[in-house]
Structure formats: C-alpha cells, structure tokens
Amino acid sequence: MSEPEPRCGFFAIIGAPNAGKSTLLNRVVGAKIAIVTPKVQTTRNRIIGIALHGAAQLVFIDTPGIFAPTRRLERAMVEAAWGGVADTDGIVLLIDAHAARNGVPDKDAQAIVAKLKQQNRRAVVILNKIDAVDRAMLLNLAAWIDAQGIADSVFMISALNGDGVNDLLDDLAAHAPQGPWHYPEDQLSEVPLRQLASEITREKLFLGLRQELPYALTVETETWEERNDGSVKIDQVIYVRRDSQKKIVLGKGGQQIKKVGAEARADLETILARRVHLFLFVKVRDNWVDDPERYRAMGLDFPKG
C-alpha cells in the first residue's frame, strides 16, 4: 500500500480577544510557543506554529485579538491580525462560546463575522470553551453561525482540555493542499527565540501586575549570549512609560522583578531544555508606544497617524 501524498496547509487563526487562540495554538503544536493570560489583548503580533497530522503539515498563524481599536498600538495589533489572513489556504475563526448571550456571540466576534461577509470570505468556525456552556446554548450559537453564510464547517471544542481538537485537525488536514512540507519535521514554530523569550517575560508581567499596567509596557531581548557550558545568558529590558510604573514593576525591595525573573527563567529552561541566566532591567521611555523601533521589535508594522 502506497504512502499517502504529503500535504501542507497554511491557516490563519482569528477571533476576538481572549477567545482562546493562543491556547489552541499551543494545544495543536504540543508545546508552549504563545503566551496565555486571563487578560484580553495579550497577543500583540503574529505567531506561526507548526503541527503534523498524519501526512499533513498544518501551519497556523496565530493573530492578535480583533476588536475596535482606539490607540496606535491597538491599531497595529488589529492590522497584524487581518494581515495574517492574506495568502493563507484557510481561515479558522475561533468564537468564545462562553461569552455568547442568547445564542449570539459577543460584539467583537459579530464584527469579525460581518467583515468576513463583506469581504466574501469563508472560514472554518470553532466554538471554543464548550466545557463551560450547556448544549442548548451551543446549538443556538451554531444555528446563528450557520445563518451568517460564512462557515465551511463548524466545530465545537475545548482548546483547554483538547475535546474536539482531533476532529478539527482531521478536517484541516483533509483540506490542506497536496504538496511537500514547508518546514522540517521537527520544527514547531517560526518564532525567533529572542522574541519568544521576551514574550515569556511579558506573560509573567501580565500575570503578576494588576489592571492596566501590563498594557503600558513592552519587553525586548537585548542580548543573547551562548556560553561554553551549554547555558545561555539573556538580558532583557522592560520599557514602561512612567517612573511610578517602574516602581511597581520592581516592587518593594525588588521583590516583584525577582519573582517575574524566576518564573520566566523556569519557563525558558523548560522550553530551551538548558540552563538560562536571565537578567531583567526596567527603563522609563514615555513615548515607546509612538516609537517605530519598538513596533519593529514586536514584529508589528508602525501605523501612520
């Protein structure tokens, strides 16, 4: 019996903030390549994850959550999300079923569906977080999606525990174009390690800091030094906008920054499978949100105006 023909498909994952896109990406890839927090708008740039399913290589582009932006950074994030849709083999629209009311998704998800209709685009629609929603609600939500006329298929999953994910992968693999794989078999992501390291630290800041402060900071990996003993030394700068924010990030006696550093280092040692020496520095740069260089470091285009 002959081997099945190889397939390779590129799929953009889009959705409203906190729909579970990064959780799904980590689930299908089988490793942590995207940060996850309970806060909305955590993902700021496009992240590429690579999964193998049978004879198919499935390349997923995880995008920032799509919402109505009001600030420059938010506009850059939304532009990056819609830009991730271009030149893909398919769109995967993730909808938070738990956020739906009366069988209708939240307003951000409704706006995404409306734009897909306007652009005459179709998508594989995923109703996520089914473990937190009763079946009648799910069926009503599926009926609403079907009535919009943009769904090639509808799947009900829990990205958190994996329910329904294999059926989704079966479908995407079956629809991936025939052709050679684009990446080596053992590659899980196209995220540069320096960027992933910055994102891991930013995740710990999101989890450890309250309210709006995480949105007012960014993290950049300044140096990455490979050492002879196999370990790596990483220097990172946390940019904040005000001296008062710097004090909060540092914490009393530097305890907050030590905690963030220890948690980020532990994650990085697991991901990199080697010892990590992580050094964090906090700098005030009040205009970083208007600095094109900071956007390039985040992998975002700098929006004009």
Do residues 22 and 77 share a domain?
yes
Q: Domain containing 239 — which CATH number? A: 3.30.300.20
- Comparing C-alpha atoms, which of 200, 242, 199, 198 is closest to residue 224? 198
| pLDDT (0 to 100) of residue 190 | 84
Does residue 277 fall inside a structural domain?
Answer: yes
| pLDDT (0 to 100) of residue 65 | 66
Cα–Cα distance, 220 to 199 (Å, whole number): 9
| pLDDT (0 to 100) of residue 201 | 95
Please classify residue 226 by burial: count the beta carbons closer than 10 Å to its beta carbon, then call 0-12 exposed, 13-18 middle and 19+ buried: exposed
Do residues 76 and 113 share a domain?
yes
Residue-level pLDDT, tens digit, the chain, 305 residues: 567 899 999 998 989 888 999 899 999 999 888 877 666 566 666 788 999 999 999 999 887 666 555 567 767 766 766 676 777 899 999 999 999 998 999 999 999 999 999 989 999 999 999 999 999 999 999 999 999 999 999 999 999 999 999 999 999 999 999 999 999 998 888 878 888 899 999 999 988 887 667 677 889 999 999 999 999 999 999 999 889 999 999 999 999 999 999 999 999 999 888 999 999 999 998 877 777 777 777 676 777 75
Do residues 35 and 146 share a domain?
yes
| Strand, helix or coil for residue 112 | helix
Q: Which domain holds residue 54?
A: 7-175
Both tokens of residue 86?
Answer: 């271009």
Please classify residue 180 by burial: count the beta carbons closer than 10 Å to its beta carbon, then call 0-12 exposed, 13-18 middle and 19+ buried: exposed
Do residues 120 and 210 share a domain?
no
Q: Domain containing 103 — which CATH number? A: 3.40.50.300
Please classify residue 275 by burial: count the beta carbons closer than 10 Å to its beta carbon, then call 0-12 exposed, 13-18 middle and 19+ buried: middle
| pLDDT (0 to 100) of residue 215 | 72
| pLDDT (0 to 100) of residue 180 | 96
| pLDDT (0 to 100) of residue 84 | 66
pTM of the model: 0.79
Do residues 26 and 113 share a domain?
yes
| pLDDT (0 to 100) of residue 296 | 74
Does residue 61 fall inside a structural domain?
Answer: yes
